Chain A
Amino acid sequence: MSGEPRAALLVTCFNDTLFPDVGRATVTVLERLGCEVAFPAAQTCCGQMHGNSGAHEEGLALAARAVRVFAEEPAVVCPSASCVGWLRETAPRLAAEAGEDDLVAGLEQLGGRLFELTEFLCDHLGVEDVGAFFPHRVAYHPTCHSLRGLKLGERPLRLLRAVGGLDLAEVDDEDCCGFGGTFAVKNADVSTAMLADKMAAVRATGAEVCTAVDSSCLMQIGGGLGRARAGVRTMHLAEILACER
């Protein structure tokens, strides 16, 4: 690895507020790999929730905020596939539709420097073994935004396979967990039906831990597993990578 690569953390409002351990774990992993981590404190929310809920003006205003906050950073790392997908794919298209050409340019510019965590580790740093140790059976749930949106492919699995002691189980079900932002409450019953099947697939793996690269999906799956007293914990991939012997 070369010198001290700098990584600016886009932690996401969701992790910042509800799942701070994901942010901490991301910092731990990046620092272990020799990165100098920065946290631009002016960051709040990337606008995904507003944008996907149809509040485009607000969503784009927040996206513009993220563009400004991270304007000077050479590399931005985000432990959320859906937020990266929003900033890289959806927001530029909505901005173009709204005729906000400067924002389109800003988002495209940011998009080129913005990495989802596993992209940053595998592609930018070129590592798979991050020196983690986690002696448990772990089920990996490919979230929609990681699988179909960002097309992360094997990256998360390669990282997990390199974790010491980890017994990897793949969830035999590529359907959505049913989260989908406001979908989870607007269509709570359908969301719950989707969750039920996802939980069954997770439980069928016999794993102790279910992991993924989106805290929102893990909140859905974990919320369901907790209610069912399934005895399966959810952990963000970063949290597993942060564990050491």
Chain B
Amino acid sequence: MKAGFESAAREALGDSQLRRNMARATTTIRARRAAAVAEVEDWEELREAGAAIKAAVMASLPRQLERLERAVEERGGRVHWARDGAEANAIVTDLARAHGAGEVLKVKSITTDEIELNQALAAAGIRAHETDFAELVNQLAGDWSSHILVPAIHRNRSEIRLLFEDTIAAGRRLDEDPVALAAAARGHLRELFLRVPFAVSGANFAVAETGSVAVVESEGNGRMCTTLPEVLVTVMGIEKVLPEWRDLEVFLQLLPRSATGERMNPYTSIWSGVHAGDGPREFHLVLLDNGRTDVLADELGRAALHCIRCSACLNVCPVYSRVGGHAYGSVYPGPIGAVLTPQLRGLPQAPTLPWASSLCGACLEACPVKIDIPTMLVHLRGRVRREVGAPRGERAALAAAFRVLSDRGRYERAQRLRRLGRGALAQLLAAPWSRSRELPEPPPQTFREWWDERG
């Protein structure tokens, strides 16, 4: 990450349009999720099961991946393994080239954003068309995703209208009504769906038992891309595998309600390899590591891989809902991004992210698979201090504070000198604090002085 979270967040806060868009969107979606969850009497039991299934997956990941590979290949698909983004991009690019594809269709997939597949394809002279409405908006605007699920959450309808009038609806005047904007996208994309025979998707889940891959979506672009083309390539992080078919009964309940606040999303496509006479004639599944096995090696950080990308933690996060996704400098924003990005990329690449939280716990409460993000943040803060280091002033202040706090005599002397109130730590804190808040006056007497006096 180039600039740290602090400065990126400060900049985002200065954008009042962004703040209004974000506040409005997150307020709406929070209420929707709350209602969809409240309706389910066994929600906690589903969360328990979801968390346990994910823990079971991680504990047996190599075996599940081998099972998945076997099942997909038995059903006519081909499985590829990629240690990093470059390998995955090369696999997809080679497949596109082998089929003479100059254009490819894309279904929204954060995993392919993570590895910057579109850029890699472009470098090979292959044009990727994003087909998800919001991804299309971002692609047309040269912008990047600010939300896992609603990637253009930072844009309002008039911004989208102006963008379309400059691009896919050049020369036309569009209505600002969302229906008209959606229709413009439909017209533009339908032609592509019927013409381009090569598509790339992500996956929400893949079942090791049956080799079934699931894509959960709303618009139907996922169905189009996984059904109409002749060749389908799915790029999937290795953590997405589920052991048994039955496990889907849990996640198909947890995901839509947590994500869009719907009882069920409009479309879920599930396919297993190649189906004669129905859908693509060739199916390739790319299993991507790209740092995931590093995350797996951290016992406390491992649960970040349990994430099903529902984005509930983003929506309820008081930090995310004010600064938006871009401040996190990653395709994974919000609370989950704050724990996943530093682990995937390595702590030195994103050392400020574990501090991008007030540890309020709203993310844990909302998470359908009960990822304890607050504790994980604290854990990663420790790792950053140990493995990367901390700013000098902060280190010195905490060391000084520890000296004082770890000894009663020093503590009481410092209190008497009011050093704890106005000492090293207070000095470090005073300036940024006082810009917007008053500092309390040190009281004339500490509690323990009062207690002693009272006898």
Contact = CB atoms under 8 A, between A and B. Distances in A.
A and B touch in the complex (CB under 8 A): yes
Interface stretch (A41-49, A109-117, A154-162): A41-49
A232 B332 CA distance: 39
A47 B379 CA distance: 15
Main secondary structure on chain A at its contact with chain B? Answer: helix
Given A148-B365, A183-B357, A18 B442 contact: yes
A194 B443 contact: no
A79 to B, nearest CB: 11
Given A17-B421, A62-B402, A176-B362, A219 B440 contact: yes
Interface string B408-445: 10010001000011000000110011011111101101
Nearest to B300: A97
Nearest to B366: A148
Interface stretch (A123-131, A133-141, A202-210, A222-230): A222-230
Q: Most chain-B CB neighbours within 10 Å: which of A21, A55, A179? A: A55
Interface stretch (B3-11, B125-133, B282-290): B3-11
Contacts of B408: 41-42, 44
B179 to A, nearest CB: 32
Contacts of B381: 52-54
A45 B402 CA distance: 9
Interface string A171-197: 000111011111111111111111100
Interface residues of A, number: 68
B173 to A, nearest CB: 37
B359 A180 contact: yes
Given A195-B436, A224-B436, A189 B318 contact: no
A185 B411 contact: no
A194 B411 contact: no
A166 B420 CA distance: 35
B199 to A, nearest CB: 39
A94 interface: yes
A65 interface: yes
Contacts of A222: 438, 440
A184 B431 CA distance: 11
B210 to A, nearest CB: 37
B197 interface: no
B235 interface: no
A54 B355 CA distance: 10
A71 B327 CA distance: 45
B375 interface: yes
A61 B360 contact: no
B446 interface: yes
Given A42-B408, A183-B358, A94 B382 contact: yes
A117 to B, nearest CB: 14
A41 B452 CA distance: 9
Interface in A199-220: 219-220
Interface of B: 5-6, 9-10, 13, 19, 299-300, 318-319, 322-323, 354-362, 364-365, 375, 378-379, 381-385, 390, 394, 398-399, 401-402, 405-408, 411, 415, 420-421, 428-429, 432-433, 435-440, 442-443, 445-452
7 nearest CB pairs, A to B = A180-B358, A54-B381, A223-B437, A176-B360, A23-B447, A148-B361, A20-B447
Given A185-B432, A187-B9, 9 more contacts: A44-B411, A55-B385, A62-B405, A93-B375, A148-B360, A148-B365, A178-B358, A182-B355, A189-B6
